[in-house]
Amino acid sequence: AQSVTQLDSHVSVSEGTPVLLRCNYSSSYSPSLFWYVQHPNKGLQLLLKYTSAATLVKGINGFEAEFKKSETSFHLTKPSAHMSDAAEYFCVVTRANTGNQFYFGTGTSLTVIP
């Protein structure tokens, strides 16, 4: 079985301060993990993915995430928030290489305060 828990439903940060969005996963198999971003009334865009290569994954727009197997976590970070980062963020898990089903977290809404 696989599942994802996003620990915060809403995060607020000031512009220019660091962003931390937390994700814990559960998987009976070696996982592939993804972070997607959804801007209001838009589709989903891939930020980054982990597929059993390097544990520190760099994505678009300055985001990165670290896969920690011992903690079953895949937290998303960014050193300095920008107004354009305000959006909904989803953590997703599937079985590496063969996953038919993708399991989404319930999402974290990020607000950036000017």
Site of interaction with other proteins (CB under 8 A) = 9, 32, 34, 36, 42-46, 49, 90, 94-107
DSSP 19-86: EEE-EEEEESS-EEEEEEEE-TT--EEEEEEE-SS-SEEE-GGG-EEEEETTTTEEEEEESS--GGG-
As measured in angstroms, the least distance from the Cβ of 98 to other proteins is 5
Nearer to other proteins, 25 or 103 (CB): 103
Q: How far apart are CA 67 and CA 55, in angstroms?
A: 5
As measured in angstroms, the least distance from the Cβ of 6 to other proteins is 8
Q: How far apart are CA 39 and CA 3, in angstroms?
A: 23
CB 92, CB 106: distance < 8 Å: no
As measured in angstroms, the least distance from the Cβ of 28 to other proteins is 14
Nearer to other proteins, 14 or 26 (CB): 26
Nearer to other proteins, 22 or 95 (CB): 95
As measured in angstroms, the least distance from the Cβ of 80 to other proteins is 26
Nearer to other proteins, 13 or 105 (CB): 105
